Amino acid sequence: MRIFSLNSVGTAAMVAALALATSASGAESGQQFTVVMNNMNFGQMPGQVHIGDTIIWSNQDTVQHSATARDGSFDIRLQPGQKGRTVLKKAGKIAVDCLYHPTMRTTLNVLPAPK
Ligand SMILES: [Cu+2]
């Protein structure tokens, strides 16, 4: 009986430790930034983004848009009113195009992960 109750305390501690490890290592640890697509253009880009950050693309136009990285690192296609997200995985200047509108162009400057 005693041994059994010690075991269940041990298991509970292990489960708690695992839960902590999972939340600390998740890609959700970065910051989130929203980029609006409106009036056939990308809105203002965030000044500083880092690997691990999330960009939420928000299509507020009445036509379809995409946020397509020219280096192939992401390709988000959005119907009017839709949102989609990208977790940044690569540092550098990434040219971003809309596949449907050749004049829709922007650049993301992704810095290495902080610390
Ligand atoms: Cu477009």
pLDDT digits (tens, 9 = 90+) for 75-101: 999 999 999 999 999 999 999 999 999
d(CA 26, CA 113) in angstroms, rounded, equals 14
Ligand 1 center to 16 CA (angstroms):
46
Specify the pLDDT at position 28: 52
Specify the pLDDT at position 6: 45
Is the confidence at residue 13, as pLDDT, over 50? no
Model confidence, pTM: 0.74
Ligand 1 center to 50 CA (angstroms):
25
Ligand 1 center to 102 CA (angstroms):
8
For the chain, how far is it from start to end, CA to CA, in angstroms? 48
d(CA 97, CA 13) in angstroms, rounded, equals 49
Ligand 1 center to 92 CA (angstroms):
23
Nearest to 108 by CA among 45, 37, 65: 45
Domain ranges of the chain: 28-111
Tokens in use for 33?
């930034």
Write out pLDDT tens, residues 14-59: 444 444 433 344 445 799 999 999 999 999 999 889 999 999 999 9
Ligand 1 center to 60 CA (angstroms):
11
Q: List Cβ neighbours of 75 (8 Å cut-off, separation of 6 or more).
A: 66, 67, 68, 69, 99
What is the band of 8 on the pLDDT scale with cuts at 50, 70, 90? Answer: very low
**For the domain bounded by 28-111, which CATH number is listed?**
2.60.40.420
Amino acid at 108: L
For the chain, give the DSSP string: -HHHHHHHHHHHHHHHHHHHHHHHHSGGGS-EEEEEEETTEE-PPPS-EETT-EEEEEE-SSS-EEEEETTSS-EEEE-TT-EEEEE----EEEEEE-SS-TT-EEEEEEEPPP-
